[in-house]
Structure 1
């Protein structure tokens, strides 16, 4: 079976990239012919190692000194602003040159299965992919989090796909409501490997991670942590990640610089999780927060805003973590303080967290993808036989 994964920037970092590379590695290890296609390339070295046995193709190389593709003016005029809506967070990447390069590649596909991985790429595939390939639209964010223009384009464009995969049951229900009759399938992202170094519940370290963007709510987490540790000066918050809000967050953390540190990137994040006692998820919205699930695999208790969607799909309150009302800084501060003061509770929640995330193991998730791929291939062969009869 030939499988094409189309990513925006396979050389970058982020949960979607890591998840797709993991899936591609599974399929290559299972004997399939797998290709990762990146719409753009802006780095020489990838943020994550590419899986063994997987081919990687770049459509538009935007590294300094690399000559961009030469496209005919009539092609650019036809495609300019034509597919990717402005409300898509990555819309800025999709210059006419990038849209045209992606469209040309999609039109040239002659078979196999195409997996596209964000609304912009999904919509381009819906418009331009040849009729010779089976198509799956992967959604890594919940439907309600998309802007109205993007939701409108999704409702119209996603009907061309053979299947749309979402991360949670809540999102599956939302898609089925706005796209009746479409094939909507819940397949969560997976933690791989599951065997992790146990967290240090005696540590005085709290950890959080993600892109430094408004979605992740670190502007809410920092004041909540500062309030929670007013009388607990030995505790520290280590916040991993980079992004456009870094300067603002550094300023916000300055009054408590001895307790709050923005750590940037690390190549040893799992060791940092294991050295911590508590993970906090402060997002305003999510798809399925993989870094939270990875923390739980280490046996870390999690305090999370019960935001749409994700945390409440994974965590059972006071069983394997703690949920607090969305964007409620006071409630987040109280929950952090309560767990700081209760090491036995941290250990109890963490032990159950390890059991909970077994549902997100490779052994559970990989067969879901294989079943879907095989089903689409079988359907294609049946259609081909009917066309010849």
Structure 2
């Protein structure tokens, strides 16, 4: 194995969320295998997560606060507009810090650009002699509905590799004329000491209380499911901007006695071991870590089939159940099916524990190293 200098360049070094957790985990895995790893963030995190006392990688942040977007030039001045020129000069100065990092690296370094916004600075830096791997941590369909779609096509077209999360998403990017596409799944984020005994009458949901995560849809589904299985609790772990609205919806649906707003948790394995079913009701996803975590705890999952990454992880009617996106009646029916059948919960939970091992961290890390070796030929 070749020991390399590896740079992650991201919007933030330690933003709380799936991408930040994936980045910190992979950086640690690669560092533990002897690579020299640096995470460079463009701006400070809005919601920082703890990277631990002594992470095995360096961290650098280019700006003291989040930089403003590029101003629209006044019509007659164009690129000569002083505001535009100041903005571009600040970007080049920040990119010079990346250049210094890259120039100090050993030959064969890998630059992994975690998010496409960060690629705007990498594109201004001198990356001579190193390989660039661009990433999109969302489904093709989610990207297509956002401004990131055009930026992925613009900024990643000349990268040595563009990585999607699944083969299905990679094929969609190829259909857009991107000829440098591959895919790489996320590694299993946790290896619990013990699985859930699946004895508690608890359905768990873990995620930000936001529109994208679809907790409003979950409450509608729970209003159908809960009366059919009295004694069960829906436990919602997370905080977010929609919390007040969701609490009001919960009260209006008459669910206060069966829904527990449990707040943010620092013990995801503990939360999952205290549940017997996991539910995800997102409107859009990439390759959701929390589904991997639930399955690693032997908890069968019910989820909206909202992205290729979801159906790549959960095998419908084998280790979990998938509902059509947004179909709350179908989601409720799947929940009732698992809540009412202990034998089915145990069978699917045991199968989930077995099937999720294909995303075991060492196996995914080796795939990364094989990609590095391939690109360095």
CA offset at residue 137 of structure 1? 0.8
Is 1:105 the counterpart of 2:97? The answer is: yes
Is 1:4 the counterpart of 2:7? The answer is: yes
CA distance in 2, matches of 1:51, 1:213: 32
CA offset at residue 298 of structure 1? 0.6
TM-score by length of 1: 0.84
Q: Residues 36, 234 of structure 1: CA spacing in aligned structure 2 closer, same or farther, 3 A cutoff?
A: same
Question: Is the contact made by 2:37 and 2:58 (CA closer than 8 Å) also made in structure 1?
Answer: yes
1:141 maps to which residue? Answer: 138
Higher mean C-alpha deviation, range 360-369 or range 122-131 = 122-131
CA distance in 2, matches of 1:213, 1:251: 14
Residue of structure 1 aligned with 2:44, choices 41, 44, 58:
41
Partner SS for 2:8:
strand
Question: Is the contact made by 2:12 and 2:61 (CA closer than 8 Å) also made in structure 1?
Answer: no
CA distance in 2, matches of 1:45, 1:208: 22
CA offset at residue 156 of structure 1? 2.3
Q: Residues 278, 119 of structure 1: CA spacing in aligned structure 2 closer, same or farther, 3 A cutoff?
A: same
CA offset at residue 168 of structure 1? 0.9
TM-score by length of 2: 0.86
What are the within-5 Å matches in structure 2 for residues 210-225 of structure 1? 210-225=207-222
2:282 maps to which residue? Answer: 283
1:78 maps to which residue? Answer: 85
CA distance in 2, matches of 1:50, 1:136: 29
Partner SS for 1:270:
helix
Q: How many residues align?
A: 354
Partner SS for 1:323:
strand
Q: Residues 355, 10 of structure 1: CA spacing in aligned structure 2 closer, same or farther, 3 A cutoff?
A: same
Query: Gaps spanning 5+ residues in structure 2: where?
Result: 69-79
Query: Gaps spanning 5+ residues in structure 1: where?
Result: 83-95, 380-389
Question: Is the contact made by 2:291 and 2:313 (CA closer than 8 Å) also made in structure 1?
Answer: no
Partner SS for 1:349:
helix
CA distance in 2, matches of 1:75, 1:126: 22
Is 1:238 the counterpart of 2:262? The answer is: no
Is 1:253 the counterpart of 2:250? The answer is: yes
CA offset at residue 148 of structure 1? 5.1
What are the within-5 Å matches in structure 2 for residues 236-385 of structure 1? 236-254=233-251, 255-376=254-375, 378-379=376-377
CA offset at residue 318 of structure 1? 1.0
Partner SS for 1:41:
coil
1:158 maps to which residue? Answer: 156
CA distance in 2, matches of 1:13, 1:45: 5
1:89 maps to which residue? Answer: none
Partner SS for 1:189:
coil
1:114 maps to which residue? Answer: 111
Question: Is the contact made by 1:9 and 1:38 (CA closer than 8 Å) also made in structure 2?
Answer: yes
Question: Is the contact made by 1:199 and 1:276 (CA closer than 8 Å) also made in structure 2?
Answer: yes
CA distance in 2, matches of 1:299, 1:283: 21
Question: Is the contact made by 2:116 and 2:155 (CA closer than 8 Å) also made in structure 1?
Answer: no
Q: Residues 204, 47 of structure 1: CA spacing in aligned structure 2 closer, same or farther, 3 A cutoff?
A: same
Q: Residues 273, 346 of structure 1: CA spacing in aligned structure 2 closer, same or farther, 3 A cutoff?
A: same
1:181 maps to which residue? Answer: 179
Question: Is the contact made by 1:42 and 1:61 (CA closer than 8 Å) also made in structure 2?
Answer: no
CA distance in 2, matches of 1:222, 1:264: 16
Higher mean C-alpha deviation, range 266-275 or range 103-112 = 103-112
Structural RMSD (CA) = 2.5
CA distance in 2, matches of 1:140, 1:346: 30
